[in-house]
Amino acid sequence: MPVEPVLQQSLSGRHLSKYDEVPQELHRATLRLNFPSSYVVVGAYRLFTDKSLYVPAWNKCRNGVRRGLICGFAWVCASYSIQRRIIKAAISNPSSIFSVRYITRFEETADDLSHETFLGFRLPFSISTYVAILLVGSQVTSIISFFVARNIRIVRQRVWDQTVASRGKGPDFWQPYVEEWDSPPVVDERWGRLEKMFGMWFWKMIIHKVILLPLSLYPFVGTFISAAFKSLSTAQHLHKPYFATKKMTAHQEAVFVEERKWDYRMFGFVAALLEGLPIVGLVFTVSNRIGAAMWAHDLEKRQHYVAAQRRTSVIDRGTTVQK
């Protein structure tokens, strides 16, 4: 009876499997799977270049976007100067949690804080202006989101379905879950219950608007830190249609994500970073669905390969026993 190769862990933390030696037709898909963040770029490229994707999406959302932009512009005109003064006072106060004096040098002038530098580099604008633009931009994004909420959900589902259909695969392409590891990781079911609770709209709003929004406003580094915190949850959310199509249980989802946690974090970090951009981030919430669908398609092709290999292994073992 042949001895199966022992699973190992690579120096980079990526799990090594006997199924990594794939046939020629899966080489390109495997190369893409090694760089999951590339699917975000491909998704954006497809949305911006494929008329069958961006034209229906814009037609569905344009009325809401226009109303949101009008209301947002009125809000900016009414509140920007006030918010900037408040932010400037908070940043200038050494006791404030938003004070950045440890990395930013302010040269006091007669009437204003000017000539600001960041890590020794002179800035084209003040820190307070930068933070105010981010804050007002996030508020305008929320206003637009309110007007397009229903339609953009429909658009996200449509672009997922269109992307899957464009790969030439029918419903039978999505097969039941196949475990790819001989010794799958042990997952804590309590984390799944916590994630489900925090996935509720109320707790999600508290986390995103009360905790992560102030963090994302922290000059320069805050945007990246906030995206890192949201990376795993963003990637899991984008793959919900994939899990649902395969009819995976909560335990199977948890194991599947745990086995690819660094892939999900890399994909989710870039996706969350783009979605966090003021106003244009709404566009990336659509393009990221396209990228996630393309990633799911490649993951499913690997699932098919592993399932075929396992069936062959079972047949070979049965033949050996009979001999």
Most confident range, picked from 186-200, 215-229, 265-279: 265-279
300-313 confidence digits (pLDDT tens):
999 988 888 887 76
Best mean pLDDT range from 123-137, 139-153, 209-223: 139-153
Q: In this model, does residue 267 exceed pLDDT 60?
A: yes
* Terminal C-alpha separation, the chain: 11
pLDDT digits (tens, 9 = 90+) for 1-15: 333 444 444 444 555
Give me the pLDDT at residue 222, please: 72
pTM confidence score? 0.79
- pLDDT at position 4: 41
Q: Which of these ranges, 5-9, 19-23, 40-44, 258-262, has the smallest mean pLDDT?
A: 5-9
pLDDT for res 126:
72
Judge whether residue 295 has pLDDT over 80: yes
Higher pLDDT among residues 52 and 122, named by residue: 52
Lowest mean pLDDT among 32-36, 205-209, 279-283: 205-209
DSSP 109-123: -SSSEEEEEETTEEP
DSSP letter assigned to residue 3 = P
Cα distances from 29 to residues 36, 47, 254, 266, 298, in angstroms, run 11, 20, 23, 17, 6
Q: What is the mean pLDDT of the chain?
A: 79
Give the pLDDT confidence score for residue 56 in this predicted structure: 94
Percent of the chain predicted with pLDDT > 70: 69
Q: What is the DSSP string of 126-191?
A: -HHHHHHHHHHHHHHHHHHHHHHHHHHHHHHHHHHHHHHHHTT--GGGSPPP----SSPPP--HHH
What pLDDT score does 107 carry? 41
pLDDT given for residue 297 in this prediction: 93
